[in-house]
């Protein structure tokens, strides 16, 4: 554990469930047995210690807050994933974990109108946040039509297979699921591609595309293909949400901001006002760290959304952003991990 745990909270593992051969679900509560608060589609950021350095990893929440379930997160064991291996091979009920926070923008719209339809696209372990979202949506809006397109290599690798089948069976036709297997004999319904996305939209769509919401989670190339296909078929960009699982891979090229001068940054965090100077190559997050200000973050690559804040004055430029949509940016949302003040001083609320 990190030596300085002032800004973290401890949770206790209360249950571990084997979902498939390489996937486990971990249920946790705070160390005082208080239930952890969260929203469907968010993720939990855990803090680990490695060779004296603090490292963070984020895992999507698979439980359903609308059912008052204890927070559960689901983890796929990766051969090159030090912490996924540790959780799978060593973690046991009763162990303590450190939590930096619960965050994420991959959540349901605040207001869902009658006559809207939801399409969810998931590949592999990308089902984790989508499983939570679908269950919450079924409780909040039981009459809303929901479609899940879920891609895997074969049925044995499908996470939550029985649970999803049961949800669909109890939905009175409101939840329809298409399981796609890349090893299927029928290649036309095997690996998802742009043509198949269009075909499935036409097959399951009950409303015009302007009334569709789409959520996409899976490998980067999979999500890029699905999003392009959705946009080509008329789904608006501000009605498409994606969640990136490759947050630990750094972009190959980081662009330089158009303004590399030093600017004053006023940070308002937990009701406390701080003033720091930020200048390239330091990001807003780096500048805060150097001044002893602890802000939320996880990936530090502009891929997860843990560090989302709001710019209330001035302008922030991003070297990389796979999280915020145009609508978010228009409302002042920024990422401190890849954000730089440009054109003058800025005020940031975290």
- The total number of structural domains in the chain stands at 3
Predicted local distance difference test score (pLDDT) of residue 254: 66
* Statement to judge: residues 230 and 123 lie in one domain: yes
In a domain, 59, yes or no: yes
Look up the pTM and report it: 0.85
Residues 22-56 as b/e (b if ≥16 CB within 10 A, e otherwise) read bbbbbbbbeeeeeebebbbbbbbbbbbeeeeeeeb
* Statement to judge: residues 240 and 271 lie in one domain: no
Token pair of 106 as six digits: 């991959």
Kindly tell me if the per-residue pLDDT of 251 is higher than 90.
no
Predicted local distance difference test score (pLDDT) of residue 306: 87
In a domain, 255, yes or no: no
Token pair of 335 as six digits: 């990422």
Positive/negative CA dihedral, 309, 313, 318, 324: positive
E strands within 21-71? 23-30, 43-50, 53-60
Q: What whole-number distance in Å separates Cα of residue 59 and Cα of residue 282?
A: 27
CB atoms inside a 10 Å sphere around CB 326 = 9
* Statement to judge: residues 237 and 193 lie in one domain: yes
Q: pLDDT for 287-319, tens place per residue?
A: 999 999 988 888 888 888 889 999 999 999 999
Asked which of 47, 79, 103 is the last residue of a domain, the reply is 103
- CATH code, domain with 192: 3.40.50.80
* Statement to judge: residues 45 and 158 lie in one domain: no
Which of 48, 71, 45 is closest to 58 using CA atoms? 45
Q: Does residue 213 sit in helix, strand or coil?
A: strand
Confidence band, pLDDT 50/70/90 cuts, at residue 3: very low
Which has the minimum average pLDDT: 5-14, 112-121, 173-182? 5-14
* Statement to judge: residues 234 and 127 lie in one domain: yes
* Statement to judge: residues 187 and 231 lie in one domain: yes
Confidence band, pLDDT 50/70/90 cuts, at residue 180: very high
Predicted local distance difference test score (pLDDT) of residue 325: 83
Q: What whole-number distance in Å separates Cα of residue 8 and Cα of residue 297?
A: 12
Predicted local distance difference test score (pLDDT) of residue 253: 54
Domain that holds residue 180: 117-244
Average pLDDT, the chain: 92
Asked which of 71, 103, 135 is the last residue of a domain, the reply is 103
Predicted local distance difference test score (pLDDT) of residue 327: 82
Predicted local distance difference test score (pLDDT) of residue 6: 53
* Statement to judge: residues 232 and 162 lie in one domain: yes
Asked which of 103, 137, 170 is the last residue of a domain, the reply is 103
Kindly tell me if the per-residue pLDDT of 19 is higher than 80.
yes
In a domain, 249, yes or no: no
Kindly tell me if the per-residue pLDDT of 239 is higher than 60.
yes
Q: What's the gap between Cα 77 and its chain centre?
A: 18
- CATH code, domain with 81: 2.40.30.10
For residues 224 and 4, which has the higher predicted lDDT (pLDDT)?
224
In a domain, 108, yes or no: no
In a domain, 333, yes or no: yes
């Amino acid at each position: 554990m990190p030596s300085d745990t002032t800004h973290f909270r401890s949770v206790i593992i209360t249950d571990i469930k084997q979902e498939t051969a390489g996937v486990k679900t971990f249920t946790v509560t705070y160390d005082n047995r208080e239930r952890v608060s969260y929203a469907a589609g968010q993720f939990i950021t855990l803090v680990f210690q490695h060779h004296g350095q603090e490292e963070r990893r984020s895992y999507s929440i698979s439980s359903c807050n609308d059912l008052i379930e204890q927070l559960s997160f689901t983890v796929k064991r990766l051969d090159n994933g030090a912490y996924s291996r540790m959780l799978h091979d060593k973690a046991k009920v009763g162990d303590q974990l450190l939590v930096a926070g619960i965050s994420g923008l991959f959540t349901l719209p605040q207001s869902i109108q009658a006559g809207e339809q939801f399409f969810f696209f998931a590949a592999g372990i990308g089902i984790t946040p989508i499983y939570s979202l679908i269950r919450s949506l079924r409780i909040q809006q039981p009459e809303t039509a929901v479609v899940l397109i879920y891609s895997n290599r074969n049925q044995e690798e499908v996470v939550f297979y029985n649970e999803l089948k049961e949800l669909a069976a109890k939905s009175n036709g409101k939840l329809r699921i298409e399981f796609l297997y890349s090893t299927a004999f029928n290649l036309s319904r095997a690996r998802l591609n742009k043509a198949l996305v269009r075909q499935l939209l036409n097959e399951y769509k009950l409303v015009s595309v302007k009334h569709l919401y789409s959520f996409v989670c899976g490998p980067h190339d999979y999500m890029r293909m699905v999003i392009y296909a959705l946009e080509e078929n008329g789904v608006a960009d501000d009605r498409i949400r994606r969640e990136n699982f490759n947050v630990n891979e750094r972009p190959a090229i980081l662009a330089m901001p158009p303004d590399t001068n030093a600017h004053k940054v006023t940070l308002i965090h937990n009701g406390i006002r701080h003033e720091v100077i930020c200048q390239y190559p330091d990001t807003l997050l780096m500048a805060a760290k150097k001044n002893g200000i602890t802000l939320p973050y996880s990936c530090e690559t502009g891929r997860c959304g843990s560090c989302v804040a709001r710019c209330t004055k001035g302008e922030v430029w991003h070297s990389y952003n796979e999280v915020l949509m145009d609508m978010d940016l228009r409302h002042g949302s920024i990422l401190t991990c890849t954000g730089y003040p440009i054109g003058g001083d800025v005020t940031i609320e975290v």
